[in-house]
């Protein structure tokens, strides 16, 4: 599914806005972990390897019959991509407040 919907309030009336977003690349990972508050987990191992072919020519000379090969180079290149996702967990109550006070996590308390 490539649609994305978000609610928007206009003149006291709620309207759902729908945007179509292009899917460039989709990768999925399924896992189960036990994570405590303020810990970071790394999801990795999503490796993608592409083989790309290329052809470079000298302008005009590379297009000439027979001798054009002297002014042309062809090749392949392997491109490897490793996607790693870092997730930092913050447990919150249903009202949006932190589950633990900042002092317990070693952070200064937020003041206005």
**Secondary structure of 4-54 as H, E, C letters:** EEEEEEECCEEEEEEEECCCCCCCCCCCCCCCCCCCEEEEEEEEEEEEEEE
Mean pLDDT of 68-88: 89
Statement: residue 92 has pLDDT above 80:
yes
3-class secondary structure, 97: coil
Q: Residue 53 pairs with which residues in a beta bridge?
A: 76
Q: Can you give the pLDDT at residue 98?
A: 77
Mean pLDDT, residues 88-106 taken together: 74
Residues 26 and 77 sit within 8 Å (Cβ to Cβ): no
Using DSSP's 3-state secondary structure scheme, residue 87 falls into: strand
- The residues, any chain, with a CB within 8 Å of residue 29's CB and separated by 6 or more, are 43, 45, 46, 85
Per-residue pLDDT tens for 21-68?
A: 676 777 777 888 888 888 888 888 778 888 889 999 999 998 899 899
pTM of the full predicted structure? 0.47
pLDDT at 17: 63
Radius of gyration of the chain (CA): 26
């Amino acid at each position: 599914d490539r649609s994305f919907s978000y609610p928007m309030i206009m003149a006291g009336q709620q309207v759902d806005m729908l945007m179509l977003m292009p899917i460039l690349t989709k990768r999925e990972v399924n896992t189960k972990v036990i994570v405590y508050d303020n810990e970071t987990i790394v999801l990795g191992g999503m490796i993608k390897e592409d083989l790309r072919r290329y052809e470079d020519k000298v302008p005009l000379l590379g297009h000439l019959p027979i001798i054009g090969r002297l002014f042309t180079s062809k090749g392949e290149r392997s491109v490897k991509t490793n996607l790693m996702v870092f997730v930092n967990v913050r447990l919150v109550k249903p009202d949006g407040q932190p589950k633990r006070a900042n002092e317990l996590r070693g952070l200064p308390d937020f003041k206005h």
